[in-house]
Amino acid sequence: EILVFFLFFNFQKLPSVADAADKLWEHWQQNPLRVAGSLPVKLLGVWWMRSSPADEICLTFEGDTFDPQTRQLTSDFMQECTWTFGAHTVGYLSYVLLLLCGRSCLVYRFNETYAHASIKLYIWWVVPIPDCILKAELTQEDNVGDQFARRTWLFGQLHLYRCYTLRKVIDKSGNKVAVDFQQMESAEAERGRSGVQGIPRRSCTLWSPKATQVSSEKQPLTSGSA
């Protein structure tokens, strides 16, 4: 089956970091593409990419696809409402860099307790980047699963620009994890003030390209049609 992808890159500028987190949550709740209920609840919700040197703010796994048999979570770069960037130059550059990667994905392979995942990048979904070039992992750091460490190695060296902590700020039921949510807002505002361009980080850019999938095959005829 040949698929044609039309990509519409629609930036959406949001008034605040809190709005970005809310948007990531709300977008998926009634969405038929929301990740299967089989995903362990500790992975649901919205995560702050705390202490990420890159200008990115939060992410969610809710729009990913999940296979409970293999415990494999696939995160499509082109999926909308999964990732937010800051509205600084660096945020835009990160966004452009991702666009250049094209329709790629990250595949998380979790262990039995979902406390650890190895992460592999597939360029254009088919070319796996070997571990000796790029290797990443996610490791749970607390008892409940509200915090994970994300580490990345580039050519065998820990790549600090891609190392950060994932901290849950909206839980599986949509409740804000008060302390962490406030910490996210103040920390991101602080970072904005000392930003390269000195622009307050009141707004952030929601990275929400829309990938419209058009099959080259005809739609099956609906039964009963004349």
Which one among 1, 32, 100, 112 touches ligand NAG, defined by CB under 6 A? 112
The mark string for 3-42 relative to ligand NAG (x by CB under 6 A, - otherwise) is ----------------------------------------
In sequence order, the β-bridge partners of residue 72 are: 67, 109
Span of 79-87, 108-116, 190-198, 204-212 interacting with ligand NAG by CB under 6 A: 108-116
The CB-of-53 to ligand NAG minimum distance in angstroms stands at 24
Which one among 38, 70, 111, 215 touches ligand NAG, defined by CB under 6 A? 111
For residue 24, give every residue at least 6 positions away whose Cβ sits within 8 Å of its Cβ, in sequence order, or none: 46, 58, 59, 60, 62, 81, 82, 84, 170, 206
* Sites for ligand NAG among residues 137-166 (CB under 6 A): 139
What is the C-alpha separation between 73 and 116, in angstroms, rounded? 12
- Does 54 bind ligand NAG (CB under 6 A)? Our answer is no
Q: Could you tell me which of 85, 87, 84, 73 has the C-alpha nearest to residue 23?
A: 84
Distances, alpha carbon 78 to alpha carbons 39, 90, 141, 183, in Å: 21, 19, 29, 29
Give the interface with ligand NAG as residue ranges (CB under 6 A).
Answer: 111-113, 115-116, 139
